[in-house]
Amino acid sequence: MRRRCGALMVLMLLASMPVVGAAGGRAAPDCASAALSDVSGAVAVDAGSCLDINLGVHAPGTVLAFDLLVADDAVDVLIFDEAGKAPYDLGQSYRSAMTTPVSTESMLGQQVFHWKVPASINAKSWSLVMDNLAHDGDQGQGDQGGARAQISVQVSVLQDGSLTTVHDLFAVLANTSTWLTEDAGLVLDAGTSIQVEAWALDGSADLAFLTDGQRNAWESGTQHAPGAGTALLDVSTSSTLTWTVPPSLDGVPMHLMLDGGDAIAGGAPSADLRTTVRLTLDPPMNPVVQDDGNGSTTLLQPLLLDASTTPDRLNRLVDWLWDLDADTDEDNDGDATNDGSWAPSKSTSATWNQPGSYTVTVHVRDVDGRTAMAQHQVSVTDVVAPTAKISSLGAEQPVEDGYRLDPEAVLRLSCAPSSDDHRVDVCAWAIDGASGGQNTTIVASWSDSGEHIVRLTVTDPSGNTDVLERRVVVVDRTAPRLSATSVSALPASVVEGVPTVVRVNVDDPVDAAETLRVHWDTNPLSDSDGNGVPDDDADLLGEEVQLSFDSTGERAVVITVFDPAGNTDRTVWNLDVEAAPSTSTSGGFIAVGVGLVVVAAAVVVLRLRRIAPVEQDAAPAPTAEESAEQAKAAEMASIYGSAQPQGSTVQPVMAPTYSAPAPPVALDEMAQSLLVGGDTEGAGSMTGFEALVDKVAEEPVAVFKPVQETNVSPAQDETDVPDAPAGSTASSGGRLELPAGLVDMLEEQTDGPQ
């Protein structure tokens, strides 16, 4: 029973295996078809049959990896494209159409190799034929059938990177060689890693790298002695070589040779061979960063960062990323060195707005997506001084070169408008040379008028400074004051020639009393200090002064108080200067004489009443200069009142009703006898007086008319104005009037002495 079950299982297994029957004739083989998936395990190919395995459509350059196993009997392993397979299917000669060197006739055992789809215009459909028959077109070569063969086929597509420059199955006849790289060779950067892999299919192979010079020597028949690590020798199975290009071969063209002869020292003996060779390059990805400032720049000054000198002889690098500060993770991805964007540019222009040392990171990416990075140090310095500026925040009034401030008002200045290419670190203030602290603002005030200098020094973190000065003028706009009480207490009159002490009191809401100046201008019509203001002269100085006048009359004194800022207050003190009283005997005689003259004048008046009055000729018209002086005198009189300037020869009439006193009367001998040396009670005296009266009555008498606001010169006193008795009074009508009692006494016609 067990034998029957075992036999049944063998029959079932054989039934499950594809069986290719013998062809009915040798003219046109009838191959069974199979997919790759159908032959991944053991498949039987009977003698006299063939199996067509579809490899699919592949583009040129595609690398297929084959792992074939043939057991029991040899078969022909033939690879065709769609066009090349047609002669085989028609029973025609096909050996020239089969693809070499990948096709193998009479294969038995295992083969592992890589095959690169040959170059063509379009992708093609490929077939693998396992031939176990005597084909009419095989020209009697290869397997001619025989027994059933067991086969296993595994084919896969390999994905080579762009750095795999050689990958194919190569065949070399005995005593020949072939160059696997292009005629120009490989021009590589020092540090490039080279990997050579070889899988021997037939024979033993030698693989070696030669320079241009070594190649020329080889082709001239010279035996080659490979340098250490530059060759794979006597490869009969599989072998790998990894070699790094030394600096001495940087940029030197290199050629890879496959040799089937024996001219390489230490190599394999001469033989036909087939070998799969794969050459993979691994160029260094070591970005090199340079800049146009030797690693240094200043704030906001562009610095060109350039990585174009990065080794890339194979032109593999395609993208670059620049991170300008390895200490700041701008995108918050946990990596502070990759902030930025990929771009094809190998250079960038960078600026920094803060001084310091910066680590620049450059990333590079090649065509296969591999990346590498390098870092570069840059020192950024601040050499630009800040710009100091001051803004006003307080009660100050900006002017062209500073500020104007009232006493006790608050000065508040700020350095906030100051600027710098980095930042303003310190604002240091000073007032009149004294430190004002290091703050954004400064506050100050002054109680007294004066000028002050505010100095601002701004400094940036790198120590660069700028200085700005502003003038602050404290101006007192509050005027001082003259005490009204002390002014009203000034005397209304003083005595001629007698020194008089007077005082006024002054004060100021702002300034101290000791800083105030008081000027007494005793002649306000004269600008003695030449400042253009005639009534502010310091003829006397101080709150309390002693003054005296050497002539009588009305006077005006202008009192002015000044504070340090030039503010003023003033008043006009009008006073009368009276004549000093007489105390001597001669003074009494003079008084008696004056009384007699008055009596004589009375007699003259009585006589004139009986005689028609004779009018005086009109006074001559004043000149233009005299009129201007009269107008100025009238203006000053309206301001200060009537006054008689000391030492002046001009007697201004300060009021319309005021007349200048008449000059002394010139008496004849008879009148003079009445004043001196005569007997005042004798008959002779009266006789003389009556004779004087008669004489005066017989002569024409000029009648005085008052002249208003007219200046009379001394010359006019002597020529134009008739003599009049001293002490007479001019009436409003122009006549001389005496007291009524005196008139009655003169009219009594008494014979006794008067």
Give the tens place of pLDDT for each residue, 486-526: 999 999 999 999 999 999 999 988 888 888 999 999 999 88
Cβ contact 150:44 at 8 Å: yes
Which pLDDT score, from 0 to 100, does residue 18 have?
42
Is residue 343 over pLDDT 90? yes
Is residue 26 over pLDDT 90? no
Is residue 131 over pLDDT 90? yes
**Residues ≥6 apart with Cβ < 8 Å to 739:** none
**The pair of three-digit structure tokens given for residue 604, joined into one six-digit string:** 């003259």
Is residue 463 over pLDDT 60? yes
- Whether the bond into 246 is cis, omega within 30 of 0: no
Residue 70 forms part of a structural domain? yes
Q: Which of 573, 518, 512 is CA-nearest to residue 545?
A: 518
What residues pair up with 405 in beta bridges, in sequence order?
474
Q: Measured between alpha carbons, how far is 444 from 414 in angstroms, rounded to an integer?
A: 12
Which pLDDT score, from 0 to 100, does residue 630 have?
64
545/600 same-domain check: no
Q: Measured between alpha carbons, how far is 313 from 643 in angstroms, rounded to an integer?
A: 115
Is residue 674 over pLDDT 70? no
Which pLDDT score, from 0 to 100, does residue 54 have?
93
617/716 same-domain check: yes
First to last CA, the chain: 212
Average pLDDT over residues 68-92: 92
More confident residue, 337 or 691: 337
18/153 same-domain check: yes
Residue 738 forms part of a structural domain? yes
Phi, psi at 85, each rounded to 5°:
-75, -20
Q: Measured between alpha carbons, how far is 35 from 22 in angstroms, rounded to an integer?
A: 21
Residue 3 forms part of a structural domain? no
Q: How many domains does the chain have?
A: 6
197/315 same-domain check: no
Is residue 5 over pLDDT 50? no
426/531 same-domain check: no
Lowest-confidence pick of 130-134, 467-471, 511-515: 511-515
526/510 same-domain check: yes
Query: In CATH, what number is assigned to the domain containing residue 174?
Result: 2.60.120.680
Cβ contact 554:574 at 8 Å: yes
Is residue 644 over pLDDT 60? no
Last residue of a domain, one of 546, 578, 610: 578
DSSP 8-state secondary structure symbol assigned to residue 617: P
CA distances from 506 to 482, 485, 509, 516, 536 (A): 5, 10, 11, 8, 16
Task: Give residue 47's Cα distance to chain centre.
Answer: 95
Q: Measured between alpha carbons, how far is 414 from 392 in angstroms, rounded to an integer?
A: 7
Q: Measured between alpha carbons, how far is 387 from 403 in angstroms, rounded to an integer?
A: 20
pLDDT-based confidence at 598, cuts 50/70/90? low
Residue 256 forms part of a structural domain? yes
Is residue 679 over pLDDT 50? no
3-state secondary structure 154-203: EEEEECCCCCEEEEEEEEECCCCEEECCCCCCEECCCCCEEEEEEEEEEC
Q: Measured between alpha carbons, how far is 265 from 267 in angstroms, rounded to an integer?
A: 5
3-state secondary structure 255-323: EEEEECCCCECCCCCCCCEEEEEEEEEECCCCCCCEECCCCEEECCCCEEEECCCCCCCCCCEEEEEEE
Residue type, 23: A
Per residue in 28-77, pLDDT (tens digit) is 888 999 998 888 888 999 999 999 999 999 999 999 999 999 999 999 99
CB count within 10 Å of CB 238 equals 12
266/188 same-domain check: yes
Which pLDDT score, from 0 to 100, does residue 6 have?
40
Which pLDDT score, from 0 to 100, does residue 368 have?
85
Residue 1 forms part of a structural domain? no
299/189 same-domain check: no
Is residue 748 over pLDDT 70? no
Is residue 249 over pLDDT 50? yes
Last residue of a domain, one of 578, 597, 627: 578
CA distances from 64 to 35, 68, 168, 396 (A): 16, 12, 9, 92
Strand, helix or coil for residue 150: strand
- In the chain, what percentage of residues exceed pLDDT 70? 74
183/150 same-domain check: no
Is residue 1 over pLDDT 50? no
Which pLDDT score, from 0 to 100, does residue 72 have?
92
Is residue 750 over pLDDT 50? no
pLDDT-based confidence at 308, cuts 50/70/90? very high
Q: Do the strands 32-35 and 49-58 form a parallel or antiparallel pair, or are they unpaired?
A: parallel
Is residue 589 over pLDDT 70? no
Which pLDDT score, from 0 to 100, does residue 635 have?
57
CB count within 10 Å of CB 367 equals 14
DSSP per-residue string spanning 51-69: EEEEEEEE-TT-EEEEEEE
Q: Is 347 exposed, middle or buried (0-12, 13-18, 19+ CB in 10 A)?
A: middle
Is residue 482 over pLDDT 90? yes
More confident residue, 693 or 242: 242
Last residue of a domain, one of 474, 499, 524: 474
More confident residue, 384 or 743: 384
Q: What is the mean pLDDT of the chain?
A: 80
Give the domain extent around 101.
14-158
- Whether the bond into 253 is cis, omega within 30 of 0: no
Strand, helix or coil for residue 705: coil
210/149 same-domain check: no
Strand, helix or coil for residue 627: helix
Which pLDDT score, from 0 to 100, does residue 162 have?
83
Residue 753 forms part of a structural domain? no
**Within 13 Å of residue 537, how many CA atoms lie on the same side as its CB?**
16
Lowest-confidence pick of 128-132, 322-326, 660-664: 660-664
Residue 662 forms part of a structural domain? yes
**The pair of three-digit structure tokens given for residue 677, joined into one six-digit string:** 């040396």
Is residue 8 over pLDDT 90? no
pLDDT-based confidence at 541, cuts 50/70/90? very high
More confident residue, 666 or 248: 248
**Residues ≥6 apart with Cβ < 8 Å to 477:** 406, 565, 567
Which pLDDT score, from 0 to 100, does residue 146 have?
87
Q: Could you tell me the pTM of the whole model?
A: 0.56
DSSP 8-state secondary structure symbol assigned to residue 99: -
Q: Is 356 exposed, middle or buried (0-12, 13-18, 19+ CB in 10 A)?
A: middle
176/267 same-domain check: yes
**The pair of three-digit structure tokens given for residue 468, joined into one six-digit string:** 């700005």
Helices 683-698 + 585-610 axis angle, to 10: 50
369/403 same-domain check: no
**The pair of three-digit structure tokens given for residue 102, joined into one six-digit string:** 């990948």
Is residue 438 over pLDDT 90? yes
**The pair of three-digit structure tokens given for residue 321, joined into one six-digit string:** 């990323």
Residue 597 forms part of a structural domain? yes
Query: In CATH, what number is assigned to the domain containing residue 355?
Result: 2.60.40.10
Which pLDDT score, from 0 to 100, does residue 41 have?
84
